Amino acid sequence: MPPFEPAPRADAWNLNNAHCRVHYRIVADAEADVLCRILNHFALQFLVPQRVSMQQQDATLYMEVELDDLSWHRAQVIGAKLRNLISVCDVELELAEPSRLQAAG
């Protein structure tokens, strides 16, 4: 009987993985430091968003953050970390449409 060898597993952190543009929609409690805490998750990865917008309605902040050149796996990990912030109520992550980014820029 041949020795058991596990099937090769894809390396989700490999730099050669396909990169994409991602769009985060974040809903958070309107607290003075929440914007800094959210953007810090990108800064810790040496990432600078292409676009950040925020609007306050009553006691809620609605934010949108778009980044380019990020693997889908890495984007999901950052999204999960954002969801763990106390003041963050919801995080949606989707692939950004290139035409929408060009129109906004």
| Ordered structural domains, the chain, with CATH | 20-95 (3.30.70.260)
Please name which of 33, 101, 31 lies closest in space to residue 65, comparing C-alpha atoms: 101
Tell me which of 3-7, 31-35, 44-48, 60-64 is least confident. Answer: 3-7
- DSSP per-residue letters across 38-64: HHHHHHTTT---SEEEEEEETTEEEEE
Is a pLDDT exceeding 70 seen at residue 13? no
> What tokens does 34 get?
């929440």
For 74-87, how does the pLDDT look when each residue is reduced to its tens digit (9 = 90+)? 999 999 999 999 99
pTM of structure: 0.79
Quote the pLDDT of residue 11: 55
**DSSP-based three-state secondary structure for 8:** coil
| pLDDT at residue 100 is higher than 50 | no
